[in-house]
Chain A
């Protein structure tokens, strides 16, 4: 029994390996892009819109509201990353309702890749907001003694992100596999439904944690900027 889809290799040449994880990811990407293209092909701004458009609008505005509630004032700047993160994990986990489907999120390589994306996005958005100096100074807040702890925090939360998603999804797949061999009727269906719920919750948790990390970096920078401005005003 393969533990992860990485172990199902279709083609390999040295370092380059085309496995089930990549093939499934490409399929999901294709599905998402074609679906988005088809639905947004006939967008209308009047009051009579299609059901698909309505669904997409609800999803996009829902993600926007979530980002805004976490504390990012301009969600349209972050929805590309955070929204795609959420929708990709949702899509990966949703298709577990199909038999023989193995989600890419059940691969530690995929979750690590996503966690690394989040790890890199935090300094990206922080630097974009207040510059590289302003962002790096957040690591020595409130004092420079906190520098190693902040670095450890960054690394550990990235690791936690990767392992949490991988563990939940992989364990779900494993449980379903085991139950299929023990009780092939009914129980696997219930477990699949439970796995679907877990997958959705994990998608939400993963994306909301990414949003929180980004918001923390951005707000630290913003607070610092405000403080510097206030100090300049008082000195002037």
Chain B
């Protein structure tokens, strides 16, 4: 167990050579590579940090824009709601006005219809009254209705007051045409003469006459000159009767439909 000094020297040299070779082929490449990787990782971390900060900035920007957008959206929504409210109020008012106008139109149409019905009924009533009166007078007093009508008309001519008489004369003088005498029936010559005589007596002059038959004047006679009319018919009586019937008729609705007022 002795030391071989050549081996010692050789082993020292071997070891030193090995140190040099290992530094060259093992430690240096490995350490350089580890340093490169550390730098690479550090660079990646720096990039990640920069990207993160960039992403954070973008996120903040996005959030800011989002908030602004929300505010604008809310403002627009509020504005739209207000405009819709105004528009709806306007449309509602317009609809109410239209409904009211339609209701008024309906009411007017109903009134017109009522007036037509009343007028028709008045005419029919006049005809009926005329026919009944004519028959009653013929049956009970053996009196001709037409003759009696003429008689009553003449009495009326004779009974006009002075003021009315002046108006009649004035109208007669200003008229260029003849005095128009209309009757519901054909006047015989005798009765035409009696009327002419009564008028002449009042006026003190002989005017010209024109006699016409007007079925609308139910059971009546009417004398017309410019702006002045004098007449008698059973229409006045019928009107009185109609008035009383009309007041009673107001209690009954014109149609079966009930109109609701639109608020």
Contact = CB atoms under 8 A, between A and B. Distances in A.
Interface string A43-60: 111100000000011001
B43 to A, nearest CB: 11
A22 B36 CA distance: 38
Given A45-B40, A110-B11, A33 B1 contact: no
Contacts of A43: 29-30, 33
Q: In this complex, which of B1, B7, B36 has the most chain A Cβ atoms within 10 angstroms of its Cβ? A: B7
A36 B29 CA distance: 10
A21 B15 contact: no
Contacts of B37: 45-46
A60 B9 CA distance: 28
B12 A116 contact: yes
A65 B89 CA distance: 85
Given A40-B30, A56-B26, A81 B19 contact: yes
Contact of A112 (B8, B22, B34): B8
Interface stretch (A24-32, A94-102, A191-199, A225-233): A24-32
Given A29-B17, A29-B18, A84-B22, A109 B33 contact: no
Nearest to B5: A109
A186 interface: no
B14 A25 contact: yes
A15 B29 CA distance: 39
B93 interface: no
Given A88-B18, A109-B4, A22 B10 contact: yes
Contacts of A4: 1
A81 B9 CA distance: 17
Contact of A114 (B5, B11, B29): B11
Contacts of B8: 109-110, 112-113, 116
Interface string B25-55: 1110111011011001000000000000000
Contacts of A17: 4, 6-7
A109 B11 contact: yes
Contacts of B9: 113
Contacts of A46: 37, 40
B4 A61 contact: no
Interface in A53-76: 56-57, 60-61, 76
Contacts of A80: 19-20, 22-23, 27
Interface residues of A, number: 44
Contact of B12 (A37, A56, A107, A117): A117
Contacts of A117: 12, 15-16
A114 B4 CA distance: 14
B112 to A, nearest CB: 100
Q: In this complex, which of A44, A80, A104, A116 has the most chain B Cβ atoms within 10 angstroms of its Cβ? A: A80
A90 to B, nearest CB: 12
Contacts of B95: none
B30 A33 contact: no
Contacts of B6: 15-17
Nearest to A9: B4
Interface in B147-190: none
B252 interface: no
Given A22-B14, A45-B37, A60 B30 contact: yes
Interface string B111-147: 0000000000000000000000000000000000000
A3 interface: yes
Nearest to A116: B12
Given A40-B25, A84-B15, A84-B18, A19 B40 contact: no
Nearest to B31: A76
Contacts of A88: 15, 18
A80 B23 CA distance: 5
Nearest to A5: B7
Nearest to B25: A36
Nearest to B7: A109
The 4 closest A-B pairs by CB, nearest first: A113-B11, A109-B7, A36-B26, A80-B23
Given A22-B7, A84-B23, A108-B3, 14 more contacts: A4-B1, A6-B4, A17-B4, A19-B7, A21-B4, A29-B17, A43-B30, A46-B37, A60-B27, A83-B22, A84-B18, A84-B19, A88-B18, A113-B12
Interface of A: 3-4, 6, 15-17, 19, 21-22, 25-26, 29, 32-33, 36-37, 40, 43-46, 56-57, 60-61, 76, 79-81, 83-85, 87-88, 104, 107-110, 112-114, 116-117
